[in-house]
Amino acid sequence: DTGVSQDPRHKITKRGQNVTFRCDPISEHNRLYWYRQTLGQGPEFLTYFQNEAQLEKSRLLSDRFSAERPKGSFSTLEIQRTEQGDSAMYLCASSLGLAGVGGTGELFFGEGSRLTVL
């Protein structure tokens, strides 16, 4: 399967613990995005990378959140000192850059990593 993969699919943690999610994008995609989705809501943008550079961060991304894409391939999203309000689905997506060859720049999403903070 060459789609976007995320790990773990579900994480249950206690408040105050740190958690890390991993995303492996489609191999030829140079852009990678993180979104957060709570129950009954649409996905909300958190941050995105072009290759290894983090180009934009939402104000939703507090200082407890950090994302990396060290070699322009996979990415990690770490949440420190988790709070119950962090409980959500964390979605990763990837795309070719704007007007990439044969591409419309559309985002392809993974299955998501569901976080439950007790």
Partner 1 sequence: QKEVEQDPGPLSVPEGAIVSLNCTYSNSAFQYFMWYRQYSRKGPELLMYTYSSGNKEDGRFTAQVDKSSKYISLFIRDSQPSDSATYLCAMRFKAAGNKLTFGGGTRVLVKP
Q: How far apart are CA 37 and CA 55, in angstroms?
A: 21
CA dist 20 to 40, 41, 95, 100, Å?
24, 23, 22, 30
Interface pick for partner 1 out of 63, 70, 84, 98 (rule CB under 8 A)? 98
Would you count residue 110 as binding partner 1 (CB under 8 A)? yes
Instruction: Tell me: does residue 13 bind partner 1 (CB under 8 A).
Output: no
- Binding footprint of partner 1, residue count (CB under 8 A): 28
> Is residue 55 a contact point for partner 1 (CB under 8 A)?
yes
Q: Of all residues in the chain, what percent are helix, strand and coil, respectively (each to 5)? A: 5, 45, 50
Paired tokens of 56: 């934009």
Coil vs helix vs strand at 96: coil
Binding of residue 57 to partner 1 (CB under 8 A): no
* Interface region with partner 1, contact rule CB under 8 A, candidates 12-20, 48-56, 59-67, 75-83: 48-56
Q: How far is the CB of 105 from partner 1 (least distance, A)?
A: 5
CB 23 within 8 A of CB 32: yes
Binding footprint of partner 1 on the chain (CB under 8 A): 4, 31, 33, 40-45, 48, 50, 55-56, 91, 93, 95, 97-98, 104-112, 114
